[in-house]
Amino acid sequence: MRINSNYLKAGVAALALSFACGAQAKLNIFACEPEYAALAKELAPDAKIYAATTAMQDPHQVQARPSLIAKMRQADLAVCAGADLEVGWLPMLQMKSANAQVRSTDKGLFYAAEHTQTLDKLAQVDRSMGDVHAQGNPHLHFDPERLLEVAKALSAKMVSLDPDNRPAYESALADFSQRWQAATGRWQSQAAPLQGKKVIAYHTSFRYLFNWLGMEQVGDLEPKPGLPPSTGHLASLQGRAGQGDVMAIIVASYQDERGANWLGERTGLPVVNLPMSVGGNDDAQDLFGLYDSVIHLLLGVNR
Amino acid sequence: MINFNARLSAVALACACLPSLSFAADPSLTNPAISAVLDGYYQNAERPMAERVEGFGLGHTELALSANIDDMFYGKLTSVIEVHDGETEVGLEEAFIQTLAMPYGFSMRGGRFLSDVGYLNNQHVHTDAFSDRPAAYRAFLGSHYFDDGVRLDYVAPTDLYWSMGVEAFKGDGMRAEDEHGEREFKNVGVYTAYTKLGGDIGVSSSWQLGLSYLRNENGRLTAHEEHEEQVVAEAGHDHDHSHAARYTGENTYMADFVYKWAPQGNYKYQHLTLSGEYFRVSDYEPLDDHDHDHEAVDDHDTAKPDAHTGWYLSSVYQFSPNWSAGLRYGQVDTHLLHDEHFDAQKLKETEVSLAWHHSHFSTVRLQYTNQQGTNFDGITDDNVITLQYVMTLGAHGAHQF
């Protein structure tokens, strides 16, 4: 039944295609976060891409709002971080949008976390631990090697959904890989002075970035993941900062700076607002710009 | 009422068996989500037509189980445990299946489920920002209308969200009062049709508008018989806590809107929700067998009522991750049949609530209601203060807009 309807859809699509004077069939891509919209744009420049969230929005807390249902209803491919990052809203969008194409990873659903090793997987999760993810930290787009693994898998997914355009996807991937690997080498040498630096940060948003650059997060502004900074907790961080080895206090573009500023004022540490994703500041207009900006900002405090 | 032990043991059995089956990697989609809601309160008085009683009490204590059954069907079971007058009753609020793989934006749902009319109705009460539903919901939908039936829903492939659907229900809880038990009700009593539109305004604001129609075949009041001396309907008189609608009519029209705002669309710290709904319930006067009576009523009675109406406006602002405050005003204008004539009734409620959220899963709420009733039974005090907790355990599902 379903197969038949897919044939029917394919037929209709083919018909539409022939009427559209040979224009390429464009994939309609729904990206849960802007980093995956940017990655999809690198891999399928002609696709119609919609980002459900911005770098100013906490991807844990997104409303399953009507506009997202409408966009998901039309999508051929949904690209999300996975590892339960979107568990508070994606299932509702899938239910409400009635689009079977993006309901299962067998078809047009893609979870980045399923295509690389996540950090901090937990054997057991209890709500008393806060808003944690058993499947590991989902903010994996700040590790260039992991992101490249995801890019390869995403390109393969695009080919499987749109096999007619295989050469275009493969050449886009080759082009992206080549530029990305060159940039990775450049970033690593630029960021070498950051090796071993200690920071206090908000949440585990930059877990992969710190891991990649050899930095260490010695304090978390959140007492527990997902809980806002309390005064008692900030006081204990003030004590930690007093040891004198902390370089800066880091917050992401969607996080409240008040706790960080409070701590910064009392400890004399600089507060750095890093873009969480593409669009998080004026420089981060694509994935390359995002990495450039984050490293530039970190080096700025280290100087 | 469902057998308490049998139901609980069925759920326990399900809980015991399911984790041992091996499912695919994603637990949010393929393993059953098991969740519970704990709701307890103290209040100094009661609100008319509401389920909460004076003093200490438990609200909706829910136990829910949901999962994709296979690639074609999703299923959900929600049992509600309520304590009324020392009796523990287990009710089934949801027990439905829904299609997952129909083409072209269609989906079907069958079984027992919450009707998609209005804005609040398909939301679970524990997600509300106030301890009781607005008076209009309590009067016309029995607080929240769930029933046994089927739904066909369609989402249009447009950038502007546009969905529409039709439902048919058994409609037992929506039947007009039948004091003598002699009336022959229709087996499929309720039909609904609804449509919703929605979208974003910039990155910070989102909106949704809805229009719904509910046809209630059994909604018209039973004809008054000349020789009877008692009133036909006495709303609020028998405090039975059933989920039945107190005021019914053949045709109900509903309009609803919701507007949400968060700075830059980031719901982590602050957000505002404005919502409102309007109800009009008409065609409830008993059809008279005798034509002359009908005219006689027109002649010597005061203005003949043509509809029950109700509306509310609600505003909830979450000003930090830990605190939110709400303000709601609502009223209903209803008509109660006494012998040959209708008595106008009015209930106005002004409510303020303040809630503390330690996390997404725990809420403690203090609510004050000022209620002004005209001809309304069950108002012992114009000022109601409720202190309530609502907490959720387990794999809790995503919330609707």
pLDDT tens for A196-227 read 999 999 988 999 999 999 999 999 998 887 77
A205 in the same domain as A182 = no
- Please indicate, yes or no, if residue A285 is contained in any of the structural domains: yes
- Please indicate, yes or no, if residue B16 is contained in any of the structural domains: no
Do A226 and B359 make contact, defined as CB atoms within 8 angstroms?
A: yes
A53 in the same domain as A160 = yes
Phi/psi for B213 (5° steps) reads -130, 135
- Please indicate, yes or no, if residue A18 is contained in any of the structural domains: no
- Interface A-B, measured as beta-carbon pairs within 8 A, has a size of 141
Q: In this structure, which amino acid lies at residue A192? A: A
| Interface residue A257 vs chain B (CB under 8 A) | no
CA distance B320 to B239: 39
The total domain count for chain A is: 2
A180 in the same domain as A32 = yes
Do A95 and B102 make contact, defined as CB atoms within 8 angstroms?
A: no
A206 in the same domain as A140 = no
Structure tokens belonging to residue A127:
């709500």
Number of H helices, E strands in chain B: 4, 17
- Give this complex's ipTM: 0.86
A214 in the same domain as A73 = no
Do A91 and B399 make contact, defined as CB atoms within 8 angstroms?
A: no
pLDDT tens profile A5-38: 555 555 444 444 444 433 446 899 999 999 999 9
| Predicted pLDDT of residue B259 | 98
| Interface residue A128 vs chain B (CB under 8 A) | no
**pLDDT per residue rounded down to tens, chain A (303 residues):** 444 555 555 544 444 444 443 344 689 999 999 999 999 999 999 999 999 999 999 998 899 999 999 999 999 999 999 998 998 899 999 999 999 999 999 999 999 999 999 998 887 766 676 666 778 999 999 999 999 999 999 999 999 999 999 999 999 999 999 999 999 999 999 999 999 999 999 988 999 999 999 999 999 998 887 778 888 999 999 999 988 899 999 999 999 898 999 999 999 999 999 999 999 999 999 999 999 999 999 999 876
- Last-in-domain residue among A158, A186, A214: A186
Crossing angle of the two packed helices A34-43 and A287-302, in degrees rounded to 10: 130
A151 in the same domain as A284 = no
| Interface residue A70 vs chain B (CB under 8 A) | yes
CA distance B341 to A227: 58
Do B401 and A103 make contact, defined as CB atoms within 8 angstroms?
A: no
A134 in the same domain as A29 = yes
- Please indicate, yes or no, if residue B52 is contained in any of the structural domains: no
Paired strand residues for A110: A79
Domain of residue B242, CATH code: 2.40.160
| Predicted pLDDT of residue B140 | 95
- Please indicate, yes or no, if residue A274 is contained in any of the structural domains: yes
Which residues 143-202 of A have a C-beta within 8 angstroms of B? none
CA distance A155 to B106: 30
* Probe site for chain B from A53, A57, A65, A87 (most B CB atoms < 10 A): A65
| Predicted pLDDT of residue A302 | 76
| Predicted pLDDT of residue B225 | 59
- Please indicate, yes or no, if residue A10 is contained in any of the structural domains: no
CA distance A136 to A125: 11
Domain of residue A130, CATH code: 3.40.50.1980
A129 in the same domain as A71 = yes
- Please indicate, yes or no, if residue B47 is contained in any of the structural domains: no
Write out the H or E segment, with its range, that includes residue B73: strand B73-84
CA distance A175 to A179: 6
All residue ranges of chain B with pLDDT < 50 are 1-30, 227-240, 290-301
Do A254 and B268 make contact, defined as CB atoms within 8 angstroms?
A: yes
| Predicted pLDDT of residue B338 | 80
CA distance B335 to B341: 9
- Please indicate, yes or no, if residue B249 is contained in any of the structural domains: yes
| Interface residue A303 vs chain B (CB under 8 A) | no
The total domain count for chain B is: 1
Domain that holds residue A279: 192-302
Domain that holds residue B277: 103-391
A269 in the same domain as A177 = no
Do A95 and B98 make contact, defined as CB atoms within 8 angstroms?
A: yes
Chain B residues within 8 A of A91 when measuring between CB atoms: 28-29, 397-398
For residue B66, the distance in angstroms to the closest alpha carbon of chain A comes to 12
Measuring CA to CA, which residue among A73, A52, A103, A56 is closest to residue A251? A56
CA nearest to B271 within chain A: A63
CA nearest to B198 within chain A: A66
CA distance A260 to A274: 13
Place of tokens 């729904």: A30
| Predicted pLDDT of residue B89 | 85
Do B102 and A61 make contact, defined as CB atoms within 8 angstroms?
A: no
A142 in the same domain as A75 = yes
